[in-house]
Amino acid sequence: MPYTGKSVKRLEDPELLRGAATFVGDIRRPGMLHAAVVRSPHAHARILSIDTAEARQQPTVVTVLTAADVKGVGVIPMRLAPREDLIRALQHPIASDRVRYVGEPVAVVVAGSRYEAEDAAELVLADYDPLDVVVDPRVAMQAGAPVLHDSVPDNIAGRLLVRSGDVDRAIAEADLVIEEEFAIQRHSGVPLETRGLVAELDRSTGVLTVWGPTKVTHFNREVLARLLDMPESRIRMVEPSVGGGFGIRGEFYPEDFLIPFLARQLGRPVCWIEDRSEHLLAANHSREQRHLVQLAVRHDGTILGLKDTVVTNMGGYIRTHGATVPTMTAAYLPGPYRIPNYYCEALSVLTNKTPAGTYRGPGRFEASFVRERLLDIVARRLDLDPAEVRRRNFVQPQDMPYRTGTAEFFDHPVTYDSGDYPGQFERALSRFDYASSRAWCEEARSQGRSVGIGIGCFVEKSGLGPWEYARVEVDPAGEIVVYSGAAALGQGLETALAQIVADGIGAPMDRIRVVHGDTAVVPFGVGSFASRATVLAGNAALAAAQRVRDKMLAIAAHELEVAAADLVVQDGRVSVRGDEEASLTFGEVARLAAPGTALARGFEPGLAETGYFEAEDMVYPYGVHLALVEVDRDTGMVEILRYHVAYDAGRLINPKLVEGQILGGLAQGVGGTLLEELAYDEAGQLISGSFMDYLLPTAVEVPHVDVELTEEAPSPRNPLKIKGAGEGGTVGVSAALASAVADALGLSSELRELPLTPERIFQLSRLAHAAQQTVVSGDD
Amino acid sequence: MSTAKRAIRVTINGSDVTATVEPRRLLVDFIREDAALTGTHVGCEHGVCGACTVFLDGQTVRSCLVFAVQADARRVDTIEGLAGDGDLSPLQHSFWEHHGLQCGFCTPGMLMTATELLASNPSPTGAEIRHAISGNLCRCTGYQNIVASISAAAAAPGIADAGSGSGTDR
């Protein structure tokens, strides 16, 4: 197969390199108006009145919309993990009587330009009666705390429990129980392109087109249709080029209703592109969790049981992914280790912060941090090498398929499909020169340097079902078009699908074009999230390609008067084996499938077939992160001296693209571990509201990474045998970097909070120094 | 200071673009709207991300921090001017070759910065490249393949004199 497994150059790149690709902000429609959203400045307040009179009079202002104009519009529903208890805290697209987070939309101004819309937005006078604010979920759960939603009196919107075995008995019988609290800070995906939409109603056809949707365009069309009370067939979602998603972009937000509503009402195209401050304030946040864990182990470090209570700060409302983050944490906290007795209670708690959702490796970046820190603490307490503790606890290859004892959506038990965790681990340690690196650290420390090594092992989930749609079509010129229900957010979906179809159908890649995200030409789709796209969309496209190939063989066999078994398909031609003269181009076969010929011969016209791939179970890639760092105790800065990632994706369609996902995910992990925080004050004001305070890693902070990709454990769960790769770069970083910093400072359980900003490291360093002084001065 | 609109003429990629603009109109908005060149992107509007990087009189600037009126009678070069006669430049080819982009949103700004770097430093080390592009944020690639792309372009003929360009990062 000429393409599968090769690092083929991307189809997407030339237009992007020229600056010629169309992102939503590049779309210009005749008569287009511009919207600016007026947002609540209060974290919690009653809305007494909104006076739009002065705003309406501003130059070029066409309208100012408030809740009064959309009376009766429903709530934004959940798409994933739609647990019933969460319904009580869903969000209406615009606030009517109450606001619950700073940034909640209260009005929308539409004017001739964004400048003028923003000018007018400042003149919208909203009168609020401030209510008490709660930002800490621990406080929110206590009696007497401000209540955000009347039907959720304890602010606990949801509660889920995953358990197996008898964890209390394990704790009672253990030789050692580690009990700790961990905290991961609020941060988020922050794609470089902010969110945006352009909506336009075609009055002659009644079709409302929305440019800008991505990730889950078909689901969003369904939601919009319901909220606008319009048939789905009158709504067209078009996915443009997209500047990154990471889980944040593409969910159905309030603006996804408001902008199309305005376009329909005004009968003119409406454009809304948020600015960066708005994005940091109003797009989904993520990651804010607190854990209270107990890990029960034997003397030799083998795990008997793990008990966790995890609180996820959901913000003011529950968004479209419902309880996905807590579900992921509860399902994947064990990672690659055997946990015979497990108990995880996960609470979704409401506070007056921006609503939170899923961000790359949701619930799992957090879980990895907790799990791997615990193992390091065990190692310290039992005087074992941290690598040895892991060795003693890995799920073994012969255990596969392995039921973890945890469960995912709809209580579906988690079963790892394939993997050799110990084998990968040893290879990674060897490639990293682990043993000599430890020795090097000892030597460096004796010279006063604060250096350390950290390990982060994980199992990732990918290939989430339930299904994906594809259609492959050959046109009379021999061009092949692949229609996919998945979405492209920069990951190279088109290239991967083209490779798969090229090999599946027997054609050169340059004859293939991939279409996605346009609901007018792609009738069904689930989308791109949870590292599902290549697995689901790729296998669906393969199925469709194979069916087209079969049809071509049948048509060509009839035309060339041979049996189909005597034909070969390659390079865009169907030929008789051993006789290249007797052949047809794809285009010729397609022309033979035209209605005139096909109807006469009695077969379905056209050379196009659909393909679906259904996945009942996910597929599980796995990896190891190893970091060697140096900490400057005076400045609190962390320098990453060496970083290694080992990752097994089962089978690699395009190794370069997979490596790109690991590297990109890793940079976000570095940001999330060391730099990024969506910080709030007690009044519920976001104080890191711009890039001056919310620090994204630059080329200087992200290290050069040695990535080793393997295909040791193909998945038995799909024909391509592939697993996803979107998130493995991120989830190991919180573990490996935190462990390395702890090692460098000579700390153990003292390091249990992220981010490891210079300030926190400076404080930890003083703690370590004080502890050492105690050891030196006081032994009785 | 008057807020009345002013007529300006800016030479963009060699062609004159005229418009009457408010003094507060950002150069990036002038480029994207009045000149209809949307390859230059807006990532933050407060001068940190670098997605809006263009040349102003031959030097990189953040066009979200420049007013259009400041570019009157001056020369601006944008990403659209990089690929002469429709072919990708050797630097752009190198990004394609080495997977130096994913979503492509930061890419125009990144290419402008890289072009300026290689003009002044034809064989930069990996560390020098990283420092030079540290004002261009990328959220997708983790920078490694961007560094490799720039490094390879530096080492290739047609960009710099054949010499000791570092082919590897660091």
| The pLDDT value given to residue B170 | 35
Query: Residue A716 — φ and ψ, nearest 5°?
Result: -80, 5
Per the CB < 8 Å rule, is A691 touching B44? yes
* Residue B42 identity: V
Q: Which residues of B touch A9 (CB under 8 A)?
A: 96-97
Cα R_g (chain A), whole angstroms? 28
| The pLDDT value given to residue B1 | 52
Contact residues for B159 (Cβ-Cβ < 8 A; gap 6+): B90, B91, B118, B122, B153
CA of B147: which chain A residue's CA is closest? Answer: A699
Q: What percent of chain B has pLDDT over 90?
A: 86
Q: Which residues of chain A have pLDDT under 70?
A: 775-780
Per the CB < 8 Å rule, is B46 touching A276? yes
Q: Report the SS3 class of residue B7.
A: strand
Helices A324-332 and A364-382, packing angle to 10 deg: 30
Contact residues for B31 (Cβ-Cβ < 8 A; gap 6+): B12, B37, B40, B54, B63, B76, B78
DSSP states of A291-316? EEEEEEE-TTS-EEEEEEEEEEEEET
Per the CB < 8 Å rule, is B141 touching A664? yes
Per the CB < 8 Å rule, is A276 touching B103? no
Distance from CA of B161 to the nearest CA of A (A): 24
Per the CB < 8 Å rule, is B169 touching A492? no
Choose the closest CB to A191 out of B46, B135, B139: B139
Per the CB < 8 Å rule, is A698 touching B135? yes
Q: Which residues of A touch B103 (CB under 8 A)?
A: 16, 191-193, 241-244, 489-490
Cβ(A303)–Cβ(A339) below 8 Å: yes
Interface with B, mutate which of A7, A8, A16 (most B CBs under 10 A): A16
Choose the closest CB to B102 out of A190, A277, A492: A492
Cβ(A621)–Cβ(A725) below 8 Å: yes
Instruction: Name the residue among A387, A369, A392 with its Cα closest to residue A298.
Output: A392
Per the CB < 8 Å rule, is A244 touching B80? no
Distance from CA of B107 to the nearest CA of A (A): 7
Distance from CA of A736 to the nearest CA of B (A): 17
pLDDT digits (tens, 9 = 90+) for B74-127: 999 999 999 866 789 999 999 999 999 999 999 999 999 999 999 999 999 999
For the question of whether the overall pTM of this predicted structure is more than 0.90, the answer is yes
CA of B97: which chain A residue's CA is closest? Answer: A9
Interface with B, mutate which of A360, A704, A705, A727 (most B CBs under 10 A): A704
Per the CB < 8 Å rule, is B103 touching A490? yes
In which band, very low, low, confident or very high, does the pLDDT at B164 lie, cut at 50, 70 and 90?
A: very low
Distance CA A314, CA A686 (A): 15
Does the structure's ipTM exceed the value 0.90?
Answer: yes
Per the CB < 8 Å rule, is A660 touching B145? yes
Distance from CA of B3 to the nearest CA of A (A): 14
Q: Which residue has the higher pLDDT, B3 or A187?
A: A187
Per the CB < 8 Å rule, is B43 touching A193? yes
Distances (CA, A) of A663 to A585, A646, A656, A708: 41, 12, 10, 11
Q: Is the pLDDT of residue B72 over 80?
A: yes
Distance from CA of B48 to the nearest CA of A (A): 6
pLDDT digits (tens, 9 = 90+) for A724-743: 999 999 999 999 999 999 99
Distance from CA of B79 to the nearest CA of A (A): 6
Cβ(A45)–Cβ(A128) below 8 Å: yes
| The pLDDT value given to residue A737 | 97
Pairing type for strands A156-164 and A608-614 reads: unpaired
| The pLDDT value given to residue B168 | 35
